[in-house]
């Protein structure tokens, strides 16, 4: 065996045959597989895994096309595993725990591949050892042992299958590198002076004993000499009779630098750096070096054959660094005349003394034009062609690398790039229709694949030394891998959704997910950063977590399969900003995360549970769905057994005719891709920027049948100006009574310091000047009230705190009491209204109560007497409108917005809840509501129902009572029998004299 293939010598016919491995495949080790003593296959460990070649009846190998393969990691050593299974089991090992186990049947076919035992993998990977030789057998005829020789020592595992979890142990070990495994070479022969080799390196291992099922000794060779591990006594022997004395007292360093061992039964054949020598004896005892004919050279493999009573010895000598088929010529730059300069060959791992290596394709980057699976490359990208290559783009360079199949690392082999043959990298099974619908069709795909292989020059070549031939920021290989043909039938001349030679495709978005091709690629770079550990500090994403991410796919609207489109999750951005943690187009587990923290604490326990959170899934799918528990309103179940409570009340006033997205405002939907229109923003608790968080709006939203619309909508910013319950308090104010410390929108704008007013026909927020506090209504919430109604006012309840005073009335007529350090009226504090800010003798609650009840002034009034404002309407029909207007306008801009409700009433519409209260109450901020010169309290406390006149004797809501003498205490001063105006002691004069009317 050589690195390039297997040669078979027919000694009877004095003939030989040669079997080359496929281009680019390197042979490292092999053995002859036998059954009942008869060979039937050659098992090989190669740079791409196992290869099994069947033996024909005449002893020749089958052609490469008949070989059976188990592709995998490079295997440096292979060996049969002992046991009595019908099929042969073989183990192959490589670098640092790489390898596998194959099962081979009697027809030389690999029938299954098994993973290595975890103990073997752990031991070799921890040591970072490269395996050089393997032996497996019954030590002392009793227990199966696996002996693994490496460049760093001998690793032994007690295992019959090499597939169990048994841990192994290092019998001896040494490395100059840092390692957790302690150095132990005390049992080994010391290296000679001047040697730089590793004393624990094993070049060859051989089990020896009376039979194959009874191993008594393990021979192994190191740079210092021949060693024997006695498997019965567990003792290592060396030196003495095991040592070659050298030649004429010299060369003992070379003769004992052992590379190969071959027991023959009565002697040991030893391959050394000096050549072949023999040691008399066997596994039981040795008797010293024998005289023999020397095979010169560094003998690295040995074999024997018996014929005509003679034993023939075959030794394989290492040629050294170079083959020396042509000697180096210091006067020529190409000693072997193969077209490649000596220096270039040396730098690139080729042989400047081998004229034939110009024809090889060592890195197998040529073309498999027929895709037949025979591992044959019909068009080679030979070493000579690699040297002669001239760059195709300014950013490239001359000559590709013959050691690397993909010089520029873009995912496409050098030969494929040069010749423009991208069949293996292309997915022709899926395509876009002319209307850009994405389809996958096995029938059309089969035709497309056949068409590609049958036609020449479908693709133009790219630059194998420039990973991005068109300079658009996307590697050629990525573009080819993700490109799809466009049309109904593949003809070879179709357009592609991506093209490595068209820079403008960076801005295309074939799948229409809102994320251009370039951004899709850059997200694949984000994933690679995560795998390298670069996202841990800023994003909290470990490499282990990132391994579960999907790969960005420009042909999938939703790369990670979480039902959230890539463009929406990324917001159309090409990179992942730390501020966007929690939503990611590659992380399928983030659908039910809530990075902006919005939602509503339905049970008011202070914790936002999953079913109360406005998670990413809901934020997106609100664009076309409404929800009810664990399903949509249409009955479609939500994924992952997810349940939400946020939408429980949306149909309280009627079944919705439209979704929130159907009534979204243009400012929210502007500029969004078709896959994102109508979705909320998962990283903005207030998607529509109306000052009310999304989750709060959803929880309090109701479908209003009469208005044919939503009372609240997280996608409509205009709803902040509306008053869902007509209590005189806008939706914005209902939310922003919350304590600024708890606000999800703007901690600097709370109610009542900020209020809604009008400027012309437009609504606006305005600050209440001169208020000496930053405390909002919510800062005075009691725990009990919080448990009842939450942290804000209720936009669907005219009286949130249930104290009989409308929220909007409390808002409009409140004032900050400096001495008490509180608001005189608060829609979140039940039972307030005990202040008398206008000092008219009535507390606020009494002034409001006039709208719904008779004066509670200690006088018994007829139960059927009308309310004060009703009587006022009868006495002075025009007074009410003027009075209400004066109340609203006296609040300056704070009451200006409410003029719209007032005007609607004036025009004949029924008064809303707020106007209805204001129509019948006195103003707690003005001591004389009706402007008749008498304080409201004076009129309130001294009024009574006049049965004779059928009216209230004095009324704080009308000014026509000023000249009445309610208690008839005037005096006829001139005695003319009549009480004229100058003699009348009217209600007003009673007030002005500050006397009591009934005394």
Full set of structural domains in the chain with CATH: 116-318 (2.130.10.10), 360-508 (no CATH), 527-589 (no CATH), 592-783 (no CATH), 844-993 (no CATH)
Give the separation between CA 396 and CA 827, rounded to whole angstroms. 73
Looking at the DSSP bridge assignments, the partners of residue 951 are: 946
Q: What are phi and psi of 474, to 5 degrees?
A: -115, 130
Residue 302: band (very low, low, confident or very high) from pLDDT cuts 50, 70, 90: very high
Looking at the DSSP bridge assignments, the partners of residue 962 are: none
Give residue-wise pLDDT tens across range 370-414: 998 888 899 999 999 999 999 999 999 999 999 999 999 999 999
Please, is 188 exposed, middle or buried when counting C-beta atoms within 10 Å of its C-beta (0-12, 13-18, 19+)? buried
Residue 583: band (very low, low, confident or very high) from pLDDT cuts 50, 70, 90: very high
Q: Tokens representing 654?
A: 């009627």
Look at residue 999 in the predicted model and tell me its pLDDT: 45
Looking at the DSSP bridge assignments, the partners of residue 144 are: 138
CA distances from 267 to 278, 573, 875 (A): 7, 74, 137
Residue 100: band (very low, low, confident or very high) from pLDDT cuts 50, 70, 90: very high
Judge whether 299 and 260 are in contact, CB under 8 Å: yes
CA distances from 161 to 44, 68, 80, 813 (A): 19, 22, 11, 88
Alpha-helix residue ranges (DSSP H) falling in 850-925:
868-875, 879-889, 893-896, 899-906, 913-920
Give residue-wise pLDDT tens across range 59-96: 889 999 899 999 999 999 999 998 878 899 999 999 99
Residue 978: band (very low, low, confident or very high) from pLDDT cuts 50, 70, 90: confident
Mean pLDDT of 847-874: 95
> pTM for the complete prediction?
0.79
Give the separation between CA 230 and CA 208, rounded to whole angstroms. 10
Q: Tokens representing 476?
A: 């050629």
Q: What are phi and psi of 253, to 5 degrees?
A: -60, -40
How many CB atoms are located within 10 Å of the residue 968 CB? 9
User: What end-to-end distance do the CA atoms of the chain give, in Å?
Assistant: 134
Look at residue 996 in the predicted model and tell me its pLDDT: 56
Look at residue 450 in the predicted model and tell me its pLDDT: 96
Give the helix/strand (H/E) hosting 384. helix 383-388
Give residue-wise pLDDT tens across range 163-215: 999 999 999 999 999 999 999 999 999 999 989 999 999 999 999 999 988 99
Give the separation between CA 25 and CA 366, rounded to whole angstroms. 13
3-state class percentages of the chain: helix first, strand second, coil last, to nearest 5? 20, 20, 55
Share of the chain above pLDDT 70, in %: 99
Give the separation between CA 255 and CA 223, rounded to whole angstroms. 10
Triad 36, 38, 39: Cα angle to 5°: 125
Residue 907: band (very low, low, confident or very high) from pLDDT cuts 50, 70, 90: very high
Look at residue 16 in the predicted model and tell me its pLDDT: 87
Give the separation between CA 237 and CA 315, rounded to whole angstroms. 26
pLDDT of 836 strictly over 60: yes
CA distances from 272 to 138, 244, 311 (A): 28, 10, 20
Q: Name every residue whose Cβ is closer than 8 Å to that of residue 143 and which is 6 or more positions away in sequence.
A: 158
Share of the chain above pLDDT 90, in %: 87
Between 149 and 976, the higher pLDDT residue = 149
Give residue-wise pLDDT tens across range 784-813: 999 999 999 999 999 999 999 999 999 999
Judge whether 961 and 984 are in contact, CB under 8 Å: no
Preceding omega of 645 cis (within 30 degrees of 0): no
Question: How many alpha carbons fall within 13 Å on the CB side of residue 982?
Answer: 4
Look at residue 811 in the predicted model and tell me its pLDDT: 98
Mean pLDDT of 874-900: 94
Alpha-helix residue ranges (DSSP H) falling in 504-663:
517-531, 536-539, 543-546, 566-570, 616-621
Judge whether 277 and 289 are in contact, CB under 8 Å: yes
Question: For residues 758-782, b (16+ Cβ closer than 10 Å) or e, as one string?
Answer: beeeebebbeeeeeeeebbbbbbbe
Give residue-wise pLDDT tens across range 665-686: 999 999 888 889 999 999 999 9
Looking at the DSSP bridge assignments, the partners of residue 15 are: 10
Q: Name every residue whose Cβ is closer than 8 Å to that of residue 234 and which is 6 or more positions away in sequence.
A: none
Closest CA to 731 of 714, 744, 748, 708: 714
CA distances from 501 to 460, 467, 470, 471 (A): 8, 12, 5, 9
Closest CA to 576 of 619, 542, 530: 530
Q: Tokens representing 892?
A: 């300056």
Give the separation between CA 902 and CA 259, rounded to whole angstroms. 106
- Using DSSP's 3-state secondary structure scheme, residue 75 falls into coil
Residue 967: band (very low, low, confident or very high) from pLDDT cuts 50, 70, 90: confident
Give residue-wise pLDDT tens across range 523-541: 999 999 999 999 999 999 9
- Indicate the average pLDDT of the chain: 94
Looking at the DSSP bridge assignments, the partners of residue 139 are: 143, 215
The three state secondary structure string of 792-837 is CCCCCCCCCCCCCCCHHHHHHHCCEECCCCEECCCCCCCCCCCCCC
Handedness of CA 803, 809, 811, 817 (dihedral sign): negative
Q: Tokens representing 662?
A: 């159907």
Look at residue 995 in the predicted model and tell me its pLDDT: 55
Judge whether 66 and 30 are in contact, CB under 8 Å: no
């Amino acid at each position: 065996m050589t690195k390039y293939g297997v040669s078979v010598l027919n000694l009877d016919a004095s003939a030989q045959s040669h079997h080359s491995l496929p281009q680019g495949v390197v042979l490292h080790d092999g053995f002859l597989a036998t059954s009942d003593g008869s060979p039937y296959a050659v098992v090989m460990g190669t740079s791409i895994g196992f290869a099994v070649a069947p033996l024909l009846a005449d002893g020749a190998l089958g052609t490469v096309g008949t070989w059976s393969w188990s592709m995998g990691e490079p295997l440096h050593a292979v060996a049969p595993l002992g046991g009595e299974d019908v099929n042969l089991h073989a183990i192959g090992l490589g670098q640092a725990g790489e390898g596998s186990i194959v099962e081979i049947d009697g027809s030389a076919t690999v029938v299954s591949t098994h993973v290595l035992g975890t103990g073997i993998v752990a031991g070799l990977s921890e040591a970072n050892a490269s395996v050089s030789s393997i032996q497996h057998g019954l030590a002392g005829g009793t227990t199966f042992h696996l002996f693994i020789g490496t460049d760093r020592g001998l690793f032994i595992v007690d295992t019959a299958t090499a597939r169990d979890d048994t841990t192994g142990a290092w019998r001896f070990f040494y490395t100059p590198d840092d390692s957790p495994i302690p150095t132990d070479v005390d049992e080994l022969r010391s290296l000679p002076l001047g040697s730089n080799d590793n004393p624990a390196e094993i070049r060859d291992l051989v089990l020896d004993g009376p039979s194959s099922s009874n191993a008594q000794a393990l021979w192994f060779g190191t740079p210092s000499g021949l060693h024997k591990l006695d498997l019965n006594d567990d003792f290592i022997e060396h030196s003495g009779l095991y040592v070659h004395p050298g030649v004429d007292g010299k060369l003992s360093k070379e003769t004992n630098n052992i590379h190969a061992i071959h027991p023959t039964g009565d002697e040991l054949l030893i391959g050394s750096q000096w050549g072949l020598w023999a040691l008399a004896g066997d596994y039981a005892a040795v008797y010293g070096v024998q005289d023999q004919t020397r095979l010169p050279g560094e003998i690295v493999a040995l074999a024997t054959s018996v014929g005509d009573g003679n034993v023939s010895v075959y030794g394989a000598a290492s040629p050294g660094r170079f083959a020396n088929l042509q000697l180096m010529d210091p006067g020529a730059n190409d000693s072997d005349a193969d077209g490649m300069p000596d220096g270039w060959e040396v730098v690139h791992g080729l042989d400047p003394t081998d004229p034939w290596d110009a024809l090889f394709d060592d890195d197998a980057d040529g073309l498999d034009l027929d895709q037949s699976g025979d591992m044959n490359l019909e068009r080679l990208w030979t070493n000579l062609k690699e040297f002669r290559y001239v760059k195709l783009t300014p950013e490239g360079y001359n000559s590709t690398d013959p050691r690397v199949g993909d010089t520029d690392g873009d995912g496409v082999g050098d030969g494929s790039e040069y010749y423009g043959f991208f069949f293996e990298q292309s997915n022709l099974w899926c395509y876009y229709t002319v209307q850009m619908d994405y389809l996958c069709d096995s029938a059309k795909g089969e035709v497309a694949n056949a068409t590609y292989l049958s036609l020449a020059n479908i693709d133009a070549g790219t630059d194998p030394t420039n990973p991005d031939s068109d300079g658009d920021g996307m590697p050629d290989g990525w573009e080819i891998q993700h490109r799809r043909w466009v049309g109904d039938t593949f003809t070879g001349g179709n357009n592609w959704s991506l093209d490595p030679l068209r820079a403008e495709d960076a801005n295309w978005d074939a799948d229409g997910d809102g994320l251009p091709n370039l951004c899709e690629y850059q997200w694949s770079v984000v994933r690679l950063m995560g795998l390298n550990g670069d996202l841990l500090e800023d994003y909290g994403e470990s490499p282990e977590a990132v391994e579960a991410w999907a790969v960005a796919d420009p042909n999938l609207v939703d790369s990670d399969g979480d039902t959230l489109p890539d463009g929406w999750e990324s917001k159309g951005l090409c990179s992942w900003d730390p501020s966007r943690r929690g939503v990611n187009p590659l992380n399928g587990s983030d659908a039910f995360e809530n990075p902006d923290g919005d939602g509503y604490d339905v049970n008011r326990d202070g914790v936002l549970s999953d079913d109360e959170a406005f998670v990413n899934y809901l934020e997106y799918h609100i664009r076309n769905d409404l929800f009810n528990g664990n399903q949509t309103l249409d009955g479609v179940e939500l994924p992952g057994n997810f349940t939400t409570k946020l939408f429980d009340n949306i149909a309280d006033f009627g079944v919705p005719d439209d979704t929130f997205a159907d009534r979204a405002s243009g400012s929210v939907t502007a500029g969004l891709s078709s896959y994102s229109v109508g979705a909320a923003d998962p990283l903005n608790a207030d998607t529509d920027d109306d000052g009310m968080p999304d989750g709060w709006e959803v929880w309090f939203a109701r479908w209003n049948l009469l208005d044919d619309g939503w009372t609240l909508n997280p996608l409509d910013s205009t709803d902040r100006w509306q008053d869902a319950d007509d209590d005189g308090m806008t939706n914005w104010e209902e939310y922003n009574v919350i304590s600024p410390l708890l606000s999800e929108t703007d901690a600097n704008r709370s109610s009542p310091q900020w209020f809604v007013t009008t400027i012309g026909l437009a609504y606006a927020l305005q600050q209440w000047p001169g208020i000496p506090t930053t405390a909002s209504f919510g800062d005075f919430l009691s725990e009990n009230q919080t448990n009842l109604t939450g942290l804000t006012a209720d936009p669907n309840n005219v009286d949130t705190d249930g104290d009989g005073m409308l929220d909007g009335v409390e808002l409009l007529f409140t004032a900050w009491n400096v001495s008490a350090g509180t608001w005189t009226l608060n829609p979140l504090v039940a039972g307030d209204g005990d202040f008398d800010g206008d000092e008219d003798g009535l507390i606020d609650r009494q002034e409001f109560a006039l709208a719904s009840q008779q004066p509670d002034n200690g006088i018994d009034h007829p139960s059927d007497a009308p309310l004060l404002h009703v009587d006022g309407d009868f006495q002075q029909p025009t007074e009410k409108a003027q009075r209400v207007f004066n109340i609203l306008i006296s609040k300056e801009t704070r009451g200006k917005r409410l003029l719209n409700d007032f005007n609607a009433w004036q025009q004949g519409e029924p008064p809303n809840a707020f106007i209805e209260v204001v129509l019948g109450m006195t103003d707690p901020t003005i001591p004389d509501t009706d402007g008749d010169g008498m304080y409201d309290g004076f009129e309130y406390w001294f009024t009574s129902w006049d049965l004779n006149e059928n009216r209230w004797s004095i009324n704080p809501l009308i000014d026509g009572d000023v000249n009445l003498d309610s208690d008839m205490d005037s005096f006829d001063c001139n005695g003319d029998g009549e009480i004229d105006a100058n003699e009348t002691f009217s209600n007003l004069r009673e007030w002005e004299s500050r006397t009591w009317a009934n005394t």
